Each structure stands twice: as structure tokens, then as C-alpha cells.
Copies of this chain bind each other. A is one copy, B any other.
Amino acid sequence: MTLAEENYIKAIYHLGFNGTETVNTNAIAEAMNTKASSVTDMIKKLSEKNFVDYKKYQGVTLTDDGRFIAVNMIRKHRLWEVFLVEKLNFNWDEVHEVAEHLEHIKSKKLINQLDKFLGYPTHDPHGEPIPDASGQIKKMDKILLSEALENSSCICVGVQDSSVEFLQYLDKNNIALGATLKVLQIEPFDNSVTIKINEKELVVSNVIAKNLYVKVQ
């Protein structure tokens, strides 16, 4: 299992809605910043090794083996992110890049001891669930802020977009995971949302509201 193979498998997992749907060549090429022809080559290799099911011109889906590898990498990625934030004082907008590298370290003992050391966290710093050692993912019944009803009370539980820019926007406006917010008003014209958070009123655009997950209380 090479680094490149692992990265392709991970991309296919994410693009295929957690390994459930077929992914096409161009989508992979764009996600991995490479050319479609390179993707075809790699897909053939992954198919030979039985990590993906592939029929020419029809896109790929992960096999059980492929999905297992993907989930394991995601487990590692998210545990390392927790480590960076909780133990090494990284901000949530700085962890992704480093975790991209750490996720490739292969040592069962390392990752299971890290899990224990961190107190078996269930979610990463962006609210994404952490698969357990057997690959099981518990998912939360979160909704997007844009889907919340007027007057509902919610807790911020995650982000859809975890880009540096969006995370820094949230920091700037004091929106952190775990914070309680109330939906005061939804403007019908542009779907912007007025919320009350940290005892203050704040108007966020629909773009923002579509990228923030909340749990209704």
C-alpha cells in the first residue's frame, strides 16, 4: 500500500459519499489535482488489488477492503487532529495539513494508544465523527443551520466546509463548536439567518448557514 494509493482510496471514499456511491474519473482528478489519465492508471492498479470495483468508462466504487482502508485512514486523520488541538495547542484551522501526513503512519499500537491517551474522543475538532478501532462510525442527527426553524435552540456541532477561510470566519465571530445559539429570524428574501449567540445577535448569510451544522435541542 503506497502513499499515492492510500490518497486515491481516501478521495474515492469522500467523493462517493463515504464509499457508498460510484465516483467518476474527472471528479477524482480534480480532487487530487492531477490528470484524468493518471487517475485511470491508478484505478486499474487499485482494481487489480481489489480495493475498487471498476468497469471501463463507468467510474469506480470502493470494495469492502477499500472502504476499510479509507475508514482507517480517516480514523487516524481525525485522532491526530484531536491530538494537535488538545495537546499541542493547534487551532482548528491549522490541523488538516499536518494530519494529512500523520494519517499515513502505519502502526496499530500507535493509533490505539493515541486513542486511549486522548480519552477515546468521538469527534474531531470540526465535529466529524471518529471511526472506532473496528471501523464503526456513529453518526449524529445534525442539520444545517440553514435548515433550522425560527425560534429553535441549537448547539453548534460541526462544519460542512472546513477550509481555513470559513473556520477563521467562525473564530472571528466567536462561533465555536459546543456553543448554544437560538435562531431568531430567517429573512425570506436572501435566506440570511439572525441568531443569538454569546448573548449577542448576529446575522449570517445563507452561505454561512449552509456550512454550519447544528443539533436542535
Which chain A residues have a beta carbon within 8 Å of chain B's beta carbons? 84, 87-90, 94, 97-98, 101-102, 105-107, 109-110, 113-114, 117
Contact = CB atoms under 8 A, between A and B. Distances in A.
Q: How many copies of this chain does one complex carry?
A: 2
A41 B110 CA distance: 35
Given A94-B109, A105-B98, A109-B94, A117 B84 contact: no
A103 B113 CA distance: 19
Contact of A117 (B88, B102, B106): B88
Contacts of A88: 109-110, 113-114, 117
Given A84-B110, A101-B107, 17 more contacts: A87-B117, A88-B109, A88-B110, A88-B113, A88-B117, A89-B113, A90-B109, A94-B109, A97-B107, A98-B105, A98-B107, A98-B109, A98-B110, A101-B105, A101-B106, A102-B102, A102-B105
Contacts of A87: 117
Contacts of A109: 88, 90, 94, 98
Contacts of A90: 109, 113
Contacts of A113: 88-90
21 contacts: A84-B110, A87-B117, A88-B109, A88-B110, A88-B113, A88-B114, A88-B117, A89-B113, A90-B109, A90-B113, A94-B109, A97-B107, A98-B105, A98-B107, A98-B109, A98-B110, A101-B105, A101-B106, A101-B107, A102-B102, A102-B105
